Amino acid sequence: MYDWVPLGSYATVYYNVMMVYMLVILFHAFNFDVLDSGIKKFTTILGVFLVFFVISFVGLRPVRDEFGDMWTYDQYFKLASTGKDIIIKKEFVFNYFLINSAKIMTNTMFFLLCAIIYIVPCYIFSKKYGGNYWFFVFFIFAGSYMFMGFATNGIRNGLGTSIFILALCYYRQKVIMYALMAVSVGIHNSLIIPIAAFLFAGLYKNPRIYLYIWLFAIPLSLVGGSSWESLFSTLGFAGDERAQSYLTKGNIDNVSFAHTGFRWDFLFYSSFAVFAGWYFIFKKNITDKFYIHLWGVYMIGNAFWILVIRANFSNRFAYLSWFLMAPIIAYPILKYKIWPNQYRKLGVIISVYYLFTYIMFLKGL
């Protein structure tokens, strides 16, 4: 469907379409009130078109090696389609999903299905917790830094995080929630990190603890250096050669995310959600149990990334917390009355948030 888009311009088209959306949001926020009768209809129309665009643009992209892991999975898909026996030793959910898909569909349909699984949970979460203003939550999801990257390259990692997001939609239905979290680990082992953070934050419900953990992780990482990668490679990731290589082999693939050591710019990006939670919980006295729990998951998961920030492919560890930034930023604004002219401030917040993504795109990061 999108074969007419030059491969070198694929990301350019996506981020510029999102920029147009951002400008529309900002213009609308400064010229209308969120309570205007036409706002709900207008944002719903925008949202439906955005969901369709993101699913189709991601899911119907050409199957080429320019999209990183997509090419690797396509080779596995073709091998599975020949009927050859493939021994599955780990991450059973994704691998059996790929094998069985290869029996009944083309590779194009498979990657479209992956895009649907990746994007629809974000839509469901946005609808559940954003209500009539779900479009704004979904835009922050789709406009987040690395959302596109994990849709087209780190596919399994992205699918796992989306199933985790879907699990959060069943926060009060614990059996379904934990079952979906188990599925997320079956897609990508790394989801054990946000799940562990979720369990910890559920046991220790003091948000100050989360803040102290995150703040303390920064000097620990600066002092400990690469010793943290070595430590974690011998603990929870033992037996997973891929995860161990991410942690201990340095920047073997010349990944821009990892090659400059401690990334203060990405720590700054992480601080968006840190500040949002701190502001809403401590300054605005929001006591929403779900929100505090969610912030705890983010803070603990992001603290883990800070410790291993120098690792090869540390972006894959960073995304294990970054995928929660959208709800952490948007949830309180859309659920509670916090400021006068709140719609205008929402437009500014969304714009500032997306501009970071756009600047990183322009820098080629």
**pLDDT (0 to 100) of residue 253:** 43
Residues 223 and 114 in one domain: no
Residues 31 and 97 in one domain: yes
The string of pLDDT tens digits covering residues 4-30 is 677 778 899 999 999 999 999 999 899
Residues 139 and 99 in one domain: yes
Residues 242 and 314 in one domain: yes
Residues 55 and 125 in one domain: yes
Residue type, 226: S
Q: How far apart are the first and last CA of the chain?
A: 27
**What domain range includes position 131?**
1-187+340-365
The string of pLDDT tens digits covering residues 32-61 is 876 676 778 888 999 999 999 999 999 998
In a domain, 1, yes or no: yes
Is residue 239 within 8 A of residue 302, CB to CB? The reply is no
Residues 13 and 145 in one domain: yes
What is the spatial distance between Cα 61 and Cα 105, in angstroms, rounded to a whole number? Answer: 16
Predicted confidence band of residue 357 (pLDDT cuts 50, 70, 90): very high
Residues 85 and 169 in one domain: yes
In a domain, 125, yes or no: yes
Query: What is the average pLDDT score of the chain?
Result: 88
Q: Which one-letter DSSP state was computed for residue 6? A: -
In a domain, 39, yes or no: yes
In a domain, 329, yes or no: no
The string of pLDDT tens digits covering residues 132-154 is 899 999 999 999 999 999 998 88
**pLDDT (0 to 100) of residue 338:** 92
- pTM of the full predicted structure? 0.91
The total number of structural domains in the chain stands at 2
What is the spatial distance between Cα 170 and Cα 165, in angstroms, rounded to a whole number? Answer: 9
Least reliable range by pLDDT among 71-80, 121-130, 131-140, 173-182? 71-80
The string of pLDDT tens digits covering residues 257-269 is 444 577 888 899 9
**pLDDT (0 to 100) of residue 352:** 96
Residues 198 and 153 in one domain: no
Residues 138 and 202 in one domain: no
In a domain, 208, yes or no: yes
What is the spatial distance between Cα 284 and Cα 173, in angstroms, rounded to a whole number? Answer: 28
In a domain, 330, yes or no: no
In a domain, 334, yes or no: no
Residues 256 and 352 in one domain: no
In a domain, 144, yes or no: yes
Would you tell me the crossing angle of helices 314-322 and 155-168 to the nearest 10 degrees? 20
Q: State the DSSP string of 182-249.
A: HHHHHH-GGGHHHHHHHHHHHH---HHHHHHHHHHHHHHHHHHTTHHHHHHHTTTTTT-HHHHHHHHS
Residues 85 and 28 in one domain: yes
Structure tokens at 243: 């995860």
Is residue 209 within 8 A of residue 188, CB to CB? The reply is no
**pLDDT (0 to 100) of residue 238:** 42
What is the spatial distance between Cα 63 and Cα 291, in angstroms, rounded to a whole number? Answer: 39
Residues 203 and 168 in one domain: no
